[in-house]
Structure 1
Amino acid sequence: MSLAPSDPSLLTASAAFKRLQRRELTAQQLLGACLERIRAQEPQVLAWRHIDTERALEHARALDAGPIRGPLHGLPLGVKDLFDTRDFPTGYGSAIYERHQPVTDAAAVALCKAAGAIVLGKTVTTEFATFTPGPTRNPHNPGHTPGGSSSGSAAAVAANMVPLALGTQTAASIVRPAAYCGIVGFKPGFGLISRAGVKSLSESLDTVGGFGRSVADVALLTSVMANAAAWRDLPADSKPRIGVCHTPHWDSASAAAQQAFEATVQRLARAGAFVVDVSLPDAVAALTAVHDEVMCAEAFKALADERLQHPELLSERLRAMLERGAAVTYEQTVSHRAHVASARHQLGRGFAGYDLLMTPSACGEADAGLTATGDPLFSRIWSLLGLPSVALPTGFGPQGLPLGIQLVGPSMSETATLGFAHWIEQRLHG
């Protein structure tokens, strides 16, 4: 899509920042364009829980009157309603916290604001970042889910309401909504961005990341939160060695998703990438079920007060999840941790032959209906292993909804993984 100079809301975050830095675009102009998008599309998309237009405009005016603040100077930002915010109520997707007002910002939010971002508001999340959806709809078709749990953030970016938004992932909550909404999502490796001030669901899985409309966008956003300026170095000639990984769940992908995936592999091979089919070690392939038990067991502990004090305000789906978690024993937890350690070691040796794995990002196009957020099947393994993952759009399926791929890098490879993802993005969309 060609950029329309008269509509700054169509600019990627990285392109907008360059114009803001050169004072060719003001923060007020960019914010005004985003607010126009919100007025036009929010009644159908329902991506937002809270918006403070006046506060955002005041911030934009202050930025235009002063020096460049940092890498996110003047960029409107959506914040998933799982992050504490001093300027907005924070409900975590639950009626329990309907009137909850934090007195501090989550660390990730504070760092984005310090880098010049304009926090426009809070985006819809599912109940405690689990599987009971909020009202948000897919911008490409309001009869379909945008994915979860970072539903509002992904939809807001896809609808050009904001160029950037924060998300979290415990199972597939960045990768799947990015895939369903046709944008770029990035989940860095576990623990590289602070979770201070983010409502906990699963202590060993919850990971902060973000959404944009290009790899450069998500690199820009996450590098600020991780204090990792090197992530923004995206060489154009980082030709990757790609391990094509159909995963044990290939049969769960739709025919359209399978065909699009194979066509993408062939296209990248023609562009000069080295591609080779790889199979996962048995210990890795078995991690999907392990992930579910780990997540449920840790959620049972993390949501103890909510479960004990307000059970009537929890959805049936969440109560069932917590019941499954209660049944996981200490001995099973010990076994799961040993299994994960072994799988991580086996997969780490396999990465010696390639730079990153390419897998489906979801089972197919976004599911019809708004009562569920889709299957996290294709991301559970990588979330459990704590590896960096990039979701890239590749095109559209027969229903006119986006399809995509997931790129998974080895541990502590964020700089290289983003560079390779940028190379792939340029060959697919450049």
Structure 2
Amino acid sequence: MTEMLSAAALAHAVRAGRLTPADIAERCAETIRAQEPQVRAFATLDLDGMLARSREAGLAERPLAGLPIGIKDVLDTAALPTERGSPLYAGYLPATDAAVVRMALRAGAVMAGKMATTEFAFMKPAATRNPRRHAHTPGGSSAGSAAAVAAGMLPLALGTQTAGSVIRPASFCGVTGYKPSFKLIPVLGLKVFAWSLDTIGLFGAHVGDVAFAAAAMTGRDLQPDEESEAPHFALAKTARADQASPDAHAALEAAAEAARKAGARVTEIELPPEIEASDEAQGVIQSYEAALAFADEWDRHREQLSDMLAAYLADGMTIAPETYDAARRTARRGRHALADLFAGYDALLTFSAPGEAPEGHASTGSPMFNRLWTLSGAPCVNVAGLTGASGLPMGVQVVGRFGRDKATLGAARFLERAIAAA
């Protein structure tokens, strides 16, 4: 398989005059032509537009230096259709770009196309295949975004996460996935699934690449310092640890041991019950909000929804407002308990997914090890570099304190380097 592209290294090469944005776009186009027929990462591909835009003056001086980027197809783009993985929106052209798309373009990114997504970022699989092994799922719902980076087609791609749709596909495809703190990246122009949970994230080859891109797009200081103390990790397997495969347990233990050898402290803990209770609350909140977010599609276009989504929305309509409000209170208590927990640790270390990418394409896998952290609003990073028994990637997840994204990315980069050195 083609080697992944480092966004930070490519941008540095452009600024040093060793490459031009057009050189990088040509390289991406060549790989896309070779890989896309099998991987099917794109919902809409715009190679001609990408190549033309890469030749525009001034790109090399902008923060993203003309790097090609993929946009998940639940984010609005005025220049390309936004079909949201649904026949209901076939050919739909929004009047404006999503805020995050405009942020990326202002920073000097060049849009390569829209990335395949599950239906409305829910569970009905996209056509995308895992580039590591085509017979296996790439995960969901940001399937195309993760797969394109893993296949070396793009250095960067945008995804979204409501339950586990950045971290899980990143683990399955062997790339870095970064879900920022809730609301760090504005969600204006995103087709909402659950407004209390939806978070826009990034995919890249390495932790340094997503940190570089997030800093370039937001203008924030998010790139980890080179000189920093070894972190103190809390190893938290959660109450669902018995549902993780032996491969997932082995990967988590290997990551913890690598961190220890590199000088980090790793302390295994049990999460307080106030935090664990948030896992069930996430499901209630997501279902209730989705039933309202899709009220128009349900009332006027129900026949164009998949049976899977229609059944889910119908269940969401049965949730009473007081049940939803109680779940929100549970979530608030869980967030406060998590903040208290971080008084003693720099980051949590836990599973990214229950195991390797499942074989077949009927399912995108389970977000059971992601829901809790999405609800918390905490920054999360899938750290790649480990493999399961069959040779497929196995990621581990670093979770940080809300609003401390730079420190979380720093802990993730420390772990990434520790794994590589082990």
Q: TM-score range by the shorter chain?
A: over 0.9
Q: Secondary structure at the match of 2:123?
A: coil
Report the counterpart of residue 23 of structure 1 in structure 2. Answer: 17
Residue correspondence of structure 1 range 24-173 to structure 2 within 5 A: 24-63=18-57, 66=58, 68-173=60-165
Aligned AA for 1:321?
Y
8 Å contact from structure 1 (residues 238, 419) kept in 2: no
8 Å contact from structure 1 (residues 84, 90) kept in 2: yes
Measured against aligned partners, the alpha-carbon deviations of 1:182-215 in whole angstroms (never above 9, x if no partner) come to 0000001111111011110001000011100011
CA apart distance, 1:10: 4.3
Q: Secondary structure at the match of 2:112?
A: strand
Of residues 201, 206, 216, the one that matches 2:193 is 201
Change (3 A) 1:112 1:69: farther
1:390 aligns with 2:381: yes
8 Å contact from structure 1 (residues 212, 218) kept in 2: yes
Measured against aligned partners, the alpha-carbon deviations of 1:275-315 in whole angstroms (never above 9, x if no partner) come to 10111111211222211111111000001111111111111
1:376 aligns with 2:367: yes
Residue correspondence of structure 1 range 30-429 to structure 2 within 5 A: 30-63=24-57, 66=58, 68-228=60-220, 230-429=221-420
Q: Secondary structure at the match of 2:60?
A: coil
CA apart distance, 1:67: 5.9
* Corresponding pairs, count: 421
8 Å contact from structure 1 (residues 216, 234) kept in 2: no
8 Å contact from structure 2 (residues 259, 415) kept in 1: yes
CA RMSD, Structure 1 to Structure 2 (Å): 1.4
Report the counterpart of residue 4 of structure 1 in structure 2. Answer: none
CA apart distance, 1:256: 1.3
Q: Distance in 1 between matches of 2:289 and 2:266?
A: 37
Q: Distance in 2 between matches of 1:89 and 1:190?
A: 27
CA apart distance, 1:235: 2.3
Paired-residue identity, %:
43
Q: Distance in 1 between matches of 2:292 and 2:5?
A: 43
Aligned AA for 2:203?
F
Q: Distance in 2 between matches of 1:83 and 1:317?
A: 22
CA apart distance, 1:233: 3.7
Q: Distance in 1 between matches of 2:315 and 2:170?
A: 28
**Normalization by structure 2: what TM-score?**
0.97
8 Å contact from structure 2 (residues 383, 416) kept in 1: yes
Measured against aligned partners, the alpha-carbon deviations of 1:63-110 in whole angstroms (never above 9, x if no partner) come to 4xx363422111110100011011100001111000201121111010
Q: Secondary structure at the match of 1:167?
A: strand
Q: Distance in 1 between matches of 2:227 and 2:316?
A: 45
8 Å contact from structure 1 (residues 69, 114) kept in 2: no
8 Å contact from structure 1 (residues 236, 422) kept in 2: no
8 Å contact from structure 1 (residues 394, 405) kept in 2: no
Q: Distance in 1 between matches of 2:247 and 2:333?
A: 34
8 Å contact from structure 2 (residues 385, 394) kept in 1: yes
**Normalization by structure 1: what TM-score?**
0.95
8 Å contact from structure 1 (residues 71, 220) kept in 2: no
Aligned AA for 1:36?
E
Aligned AA for 1:28?
A
Q: Secondary structure at the match of 1:142?
A: coil
Q: Distance in 2 between matches of 1:259 and 1:217?
A: 26
CA apart distance, 1:11: 3.5
CA apart distance, 1:225: 3.6
CA apart distance, 1:158: 0.2
Change (3 A) 1:302 1:69: farther
Q: Secondary structure at the match of 1:79?
A: strand
Gaps of 5+ in 2: none
Q: Distance in 2 between matches of 1:236 and 1:81?
A: 38
Change (3 A) 1:407 1:10: closer
Measured against aligned partners, the alpha-carbon deviations of 1:224-274 in whole angstroms (never above 9, x if no partner) come to 34331x102432434110000011111111111111211221121111001
Aligned AA for 1:302?
A
Measured against aligned partners, the alpha-carbon deviations of 1:157-195 in whole angstroms (never above 9, x if no partner) come to 000000000000000000000000000000011111110
Q: Distance in 1 between matches of 2:129 and 2:65?
A: 29
Q: Distance in 1 between matches of 2:414 and 2:245?
A: 27
